[in-house]
Amino acid sequence: MDLSRCRIAIHGGAGVIDRASLDGEREAAFRAALEGIASRAWLALKQGASALDVVEQAVRELEDFPLFNAGRGAVLNADGVVELDASIMDGRSRAAGAVAAARTPTHPVTLARAVMERTEHVLLVGEGADRLAEALKLERSPPDYFVTAERAAQQKLAARLGKVTLDHDPLYNGPDPKDPRGTVGAVARDAWGHLAAATSTGGMTNKHPGRAGDTPVIGAGTWAEDATCAVSATGHGEFFIRSALAHDVHARMRYGGASLAQACAGALARVGELGGDGGLIAIGHEGEVALPYNSEGMYRAWVDGDGVLRVAIYAEVAEHAL
């Protein structure tokens, strides 16, 4: 055990984050949530918690925060209900679990972990995922628990416009509805040098029922492997799937000898080539931390080797002593 190995990074989504649409109170709430969740995760790592436990716990807290698009406060599909995607991966063994289009788990990331640890499978979808949550007596919630007034308004507007997401829509920058992004994720390196990653989302506003994005696709939205890196992505999921983004970061390091920063930049560039935008958070096997994005901003917080907690939405970074 070597506490100097500990690293944590979390995100609350990347995308069109127009400063004008982010009022002071709302921005302060986002920043406080990121700061609190990252600092608790850091403390847990310093107390010897495993990277796997820490990313699950951090994502559970992000799922509970209603302004992020995951768990409570997730965006609504074209039927006006949430369908939740999540995944988790353990860098020690490449064990992985994921759920897509689940409607009832209060904490989709915990259901993803249950798929990994308590079934022979990696990915469960829809009703089958919900049935596993029920069978294992994991916490479940009724539809109303997940739906916030803001998400309902966003879905109604998107449906009226016939769009699947409001990103890049001029109306998006209007006073309301705003901020359709907010997928969440965490990557960690523990005191033993093990890596883990987890990601959770409601996907895209007004998506087709049954649509799964990159988040539950291991290798697209999430990857962890002790020899290289842990990655959690956010952005326009279809492009991330078509780029195998998270695995591409790993492969560039493993087979191409790239540094973490080079691998992230190269992998994200391939998403950009297709016209996709978003970002990712990543921790390398030597403790490097990278948080690149090609969108306007990304909600993020991290602690790297110097033990300083950093919180950012745009390019400017606020530093907090721990």
Which amino acid appears at position 83 of this protein?
A: E
Chain residues 13-32 in contact with ligand ASP, contact rule CB under 6 A: 13
- Judged by CB under 6 A, the residue of 66, 71, 203, 297 near ligand ASP is 203
Instruction: List phi, psi (to 5°) of 313.
Output: -120, -50
- Does position 215 interact with ligand ASP (CB under 6 A)? The reply is yes
Dist CA 224 CA 213 (whole Å) = 18
Distance CA 11, CA 183 (A): 8
Q: Measured between alpha carbons, how far is residue 100 from residues 8, 83, 128, 185, 205 in Å?
A: 25, 7, 10, 15, 15
| DSSP H helices in the chain | 24-46, 51-64, 108-118, 126-135, 143-146, 149-161, 237-243, 245-254, 260-273
Q: Is 222 a catalytic residue?
A: no
What minimum distance in Å lies between the beta carbon of 177 and ligand ASP? Answer: 15
For ligand ASP, which is the closer residue by CB, 45 or 111?
111
Which of 57, 87, 183, 228 is close enough to bind ligand ASP by CB under 6 A?
183
Is residue 181 close enough to count as binding ligand ASP by CB under 6 A? yes
CB of 207 to ligand ASP, least distance (A): 8
Least separation in angstroms between CB 142 and ligand ASP: 23
**Catalytic one among 104, 110, 183, 199?**
183
Question: Would you give the DSSP letter of residue 74?
Answer: P
Q: Where are the beta strands (DSSP E) in 145-210?
A: 184-189, 195-201
If the CB atoms of residues 12 and 97 are measured against ligand ASP, the closer one turns out to be 12
Selected range binding ligand ASP among 106-114, 116-124, 210-218, 289-297, rule: CB under 6 A? 210-218
Q: Which stretch binds ligand ASP (CB under 6 A): 24-32, 145-153, 199-207, 300-308?
A: 199-207
Q: Is 73 in the site for ligand ASP (CB under 6 A)?
A: no
- Contacts to ligand ASP from residues 265-294, by CB under 6 A: 278
- Residue nearer to ligand ASP on the CB measure, 214 or 288: 214
- Residue 77 and residue 195: Cα distance in Å, rounded? 33
**How far apart (Å, rounded) are the C-alpha atoms in residues 122 and 152?**
31
Question: Which x/- pattern, by CB under 6 A, does the window 226-255 give for ligand ASP?
Answer: --------xxxx------------------
**Adjacent-strand bridge partners of 100:** 125
Give the integer Cα–Cα distance in Å for 318 and 316: 7
Give catalytic residues, as residue numbers.
183
**Binding stretches for ligand ASP (CB under 6 A):** 13, 181, 183, 201, 203-204, 213-215, 234-237, 278
